[in-house]
Structure 1
Amino acid sequence: MTSKGAEVGTVRPGGRTARVRAAVLRATEDALVEQGFDGLDLGAVAQRAGVGKTTVYRRWGSATALVADLLVDMAEQSLPRADTGSLTEDLLANARLVRRTLADPRQGTLFRAVIAAASCDERTAEALRRFYQVRVREWAVCVEQAIQRGELPEDTDPDEVVRAVSAPLYYRLLASQQPLDEASADRAAHAAVAAAKAGVYARTR
């Protein structure tokens, strides 16, 4: 049962309920990788997860709710940010993590499916926005620390710097189909650092 006002599928449960959630989300991920969002069916997910169909319908109720909860789980499970004491090294770590994720056959396919779903469903789009807000804010601390060390102008927007690191990699994944190699990740990080030091990512007034 969810607390009053909570969105279905987003409450963090414990015990058996946690095991059911984990199994259903894994099955949801498998279905997205294999069939895409259009092939996501609650009954089929329940069968994959080995749980009752009524459990899935009662707890989540829709394919979009499943994807939203999967994105919550993905944000919770993401690796923590680097903390090397150097902006360049921190952002290189960020770029390489993004590249490894997107270049992975399973994870890259999963992200393409989720992004495709978000393009035509507002609930999924909002869940995806929340996912990236969590990840950007996690890594923005690296930029904030660089500002405090005097590496960057004081008016630098940390979130924009972090977005600038991953944007070229997502472009390769979704648009150009160019290889997602480590050189492209390193180039994105170095470009973001150079632009930030030049004041390109100053906060707008």
Structure 2
Amino acid sequence: MAPRKEQQIFRATLELLAAKGYEGLTVEGVAERSRVNKTTIYRWWPSKAALLAAALVEADLLAMEQPDTGSLRGDLEALVRGIVALLTRPPAADVAVAALGAAVHHRELAEAVRRFFADRFVREEAVFERARRRGELSATADPMLIVDLLAGAVWLRTVFRGLPPDDDFAARAVSAVLDGSATARARTGGPAAG
């Protein structure tokens, strides 16, 4: 299938998900919205779950540039800003919230969401590989935990609390994860370094 037509189908799929929820998402609706015959869609994706799984991973609508700023801190701040944009700007924000909400009730969609996050993490691993080569990250650091802490902070702040992150949110979140929040004394159990 031509990449442009595939992206039309993916965009239609995600827009319908955001507008009508998973229950209202149909291959017929995607065919109508994308102006592609439904038999063509079924030839490539046997079910709406398979179509949605592909759209979540491959749609330009949800694409995020992987940062390469030259430092771990800079890359993580750029990554946080990208997640903030994804979760606060329509239609991507509506798609992300609809997919996550529906995944709770539909096993096939939960698998698609897991695949989406797994694909994102594979792409993000380059940030940590470069940081290790530069000596910025210990060999025992857990990249997935770092990403989970940062992405979880964005999800909690923007989606669940409904608070818009301020301009320095990314820097503060990354600092909390990389530097911690305790004083030197609390970290070492001794007097704070002066």
Normalising to structure 1: TM-score of the pair?
Answer: 0.77
Q: In the alignment, which residue of structure 2 is the partner of 1:69?
A: 54
Distance 1:167 1:194 in 2: 17
Which of 146, 161, 174 is the equivalent residue of 2:159?
174
Q: In the alignment, which residue of structure 2 is the partner of 1:36?
A: 21
Q: CA deviation at 1:61?
A: 3.5
Q: In the alignment, which residue of structure 1 is the partner of 2:187?
A: none
Gaps of at least 5 residues in structure 1 are: 1-12, 199-205
Q: Is the 8 A contact 2:27 2:48 kept in 1?
A: yes
Q: How does 1:89-100 map to 2 (within 5 A)?
A: 89-100=74-85
Q: CA deviation at 1:91?
A: 0.7
Q: Percent identity?
A: 34
Q: In the alignment, which residue of structure 2 is the partner of 1:132?
A: 117
Q: CA deviation at 1:103?
A: 1.0
Which of 14, 24, 46 is the equivalent residue of 2:31?
46
Gaps of at least 5 residues in structure 2 are: 185-194
| Inter-CA distance 118–44: structure 2 relative to 1 (3 Å threshold) | same
Q: CA deviation at 1:180?
A: 3.3
Q: Deviations 1:84-128 (Å, cap 9, x if unpaired)? A: 221111111111111111110211111001111221222222222
Q: In the alignment, which residue of structure 2 is the partner of 1:147?
A: 132
Q: In the alignment, which residue of structure 2 is the partner of 1:86?
A: 71
Which of 143, 164, 167 is the equivalent residue of 2:149?
164
Distance 1:171 1:158 in 2: 20
Q: In the alignment, which residue of structure 1 is the partner of 2:189?
A: none
Q: CA deviation at 1:70?
A: 0.5
Q: In the alignment, which residue of structure 1 is the partner of 2:12?
A: 27
Query: How many residues matched?
Result: 181
| Inter-CA distance 54–109: structure 2 relative to 1 (3 Å threshold) | same
Q: CA deviation at 1:31?
A: 0.8
| Inter-CA distance 74–164: structure 2 relative to 1 (3 Å threshold) | farther
Q: Deviations 1:120-158 (Å, cap 9, x if unpaired)? A: 222222222122122223223222332333333321112
| Inter-CA distance 63–50: structure 2 relative to 1 (3 Å threshold) | same
Q: CA deviation at 1:76?
A: 10
| Inter-CA distance 50–76: structure 2 relative to 1 (3 Å threshold) | closer
Normalising to structure 2: TM-score of the pair?
Answer: 0.81
1:36 is paired with a residue whose SS is: helix
Q: CA deviation at 1:170?
A: 0.9
